[in-house]
Structure 1
Amino acid sequence: MEKLAWMNLLYDFYGQLLTQRQQKFVELYYAHDLSLGEIAEQFGVSRQAVHDVLKRAEHILTRYEEKLGLVAKFMEQRRRLGEALALLDENSSMNEETLSRVREILRGVMG
C-alpha cells in the first residue's frame, strides 16, 4: 500500500490520539496535499519544524498500529468479506431474494 493511503488509514484509526497540532499538520500534509512550506507559512514556523512534527506523528501512528493492530484487522476483515461476497456470487444456490439480501448485508459491512 502506498504511503499516502497508509498514513491516511493510520490517521483515521488513531488520529485522535495525536496532539491538535500534530493532527492539523497531518491533515494538511496528507489529506489536503499541502507542502511543508505551505504549512510552515500558515503556522509561522520553519519547514524543518513542520517536518519534525510530521515525522513524530508518523512514528506515533505507526507505534499505535504495531501495538494495537486495528488497521491490519480492518484490512483482513475487508479481505475476508470480499472473499465471502465473491463465493456467494460464484456458488450460490439460494433463491435470488435471499442471495440479494446476503450480498446487501456483506456490502454494508464492507462500507
Structure 2
Amino acid sequence: MSQDNKLDKTNRINLLFAFYERLLTDKQQTFLKYYFHDDFSLGEIAAEFEISRQAVYEHIKRAEQVLENYEDKLGLLSKHESRSHYIDELRRLPEIGLLSEEYNIRFTEIIDRLQSLD
C-alpha cells in the first residue's frame, strides 16, 4: 500500500471513528485509538495487552469492518462530506457578487449556522 493510500485510509478510519465511536465495543475503541490516533504499532499494542500481533491485527480489521458497515447503513460520513461540499459552494456565492451586501451578511450568517450543526 502506498503512503498516500495509507494516509487516506487512516483519515477515513479516523472520520468514521468520530461518527461511530460510541457504537464500538470498548476493546474496538481502544485498539483503533492506539493504532490510528496514537500511531502505535501492532507489536506495541500486542505488548500492552499481552496478546499476539495477529490478534491485534484481527481486532483492528474487525473494527474497521464494523465502522464501514455502520457507514453503509447510516451514511453519516457521506452526508457530512456532502453537506460540507455544499456549504463550501454557498460560501463562494457572495464572492461572485450575485447578492447585495445586506443579503451577503444574512447569507453568511445562515451558512455559519448550518456549518455549526455538525
TM-score, L = length of structure 2: 0.83
Residue of structure 2 in register with 1:109 after alignment: 114
CA drift at 1:32: 1.0
Residue of structure 1 in register with 2:90 after alignment: 84
After superposing the two structures, state which structure 1 stretch, 101-110 or 13-22, moved more: 101-110
- Partner amino acid for 2:90? A
Residue of structure 2 in register with 1:23 after alignment: 29
Distance 1:85 1:42 in 2: 47
Distance 2:95 2:76 in 1: 28
5 Å-filtered alignment, 1:7-46, equals 7-46=13-52
Residues 1:47 and 2:53 aligned together: yes
CA drift at 1:7: 0.3
CA drift at 1:44: 1.1
Distance 1:81 1:24, change over 3 A: same
- Partner amino acid for 1:23? Q
- Percent identity between the aligned chains? 40
CA drift at 1:46: 0.9
CA drift at 1:83: 0.4
TM-score, L = length of structure 1: 0.88
CA drift at 1:92: 3.9
1:65 to 71, 77, 81: 71
* Structure 1 gaps, min length 5: none
CA drift at 1:105: 4.0
Residues 1:99 and 2:88 aligned together: no
